[in-house]
Structure 1
Amino acid sequence: MLRRIFILISFVSLVGTARANDVYIYELLKEPGYAQTWKRLLKSERKVPGWLSDENRFVANPEKKQSVGSTQYSISVVAKQHATNEGVAAILFTEDGQKAWAMIVEEGRKPRYLGAPSKEQIDLLDKALDE
């Protein structure tokens, strides 16, 4: 019985550690490379929703890592704060933060892709929003 309790405590500790190591887009955007790439992506598009261009107006899930071929990506899913059913976006960065793409889905509008993603990148963005 004591051994089971010890195993349970060890497992809970590991789960807590994994959560503590989660990386969110807010942290990525503090890094100059990611921040510059993000600003460049948003400026290259017309009529980007205000909630997406202001990190204080969205909530985010932890990033996930995904590879396509030899390219490693960081994928973040964000949603409009206080109205998550009105707007969500998946954001895809290359591992070095030098390139970015996004998919925006807002209530009553067609999905929009920012940054002209490839077919493989679109599949990653779609999959991220489906999860």
Structure 2
Amino acid sequence: MSLWCMLASPLAATNDIRHMTEEVKRILLNPEVILLNQDSLGKQAVRKLNNETWIVFLKPLANGDYALAILNRTDQTRKITYNFGLTGNYQIRDLWQHKVIATGNNWSGNVNSYETKLFRLIRK
């Protein structure tokens, strides 16, 4: 549901916006996520991993940051350690929680069933 933000494309809601739940509003109207989609660099995300468990996308942003999306494709919570493949050190900002959750050049954590973790990697 949240991989749309990794594309440099117009945004469109295909649901009935008159009857959105609060959760759907929180996802679709998240200003940090909209900024990723509308980033002035206009680059599409690159798929870095695609297997039966994970889809991972990395997207460069105009100011030198990156966006990272990690999708668990399974019906079980899974743990992943993902190395960004980038040089340098980054603050890892969780865009759903609206806070920096770690620093480094990799992230390790649990991803719930069919959940997408969405991070902004801020160069330190």
TM-score of the superposed pair, with normalisation by structure 2: 0.33
Higher relative contact order (CA 8 A, sep 6+): 2
Larger strand proportion of the pair? 2
Q: Which has the larger radius of gyration?
A: 1
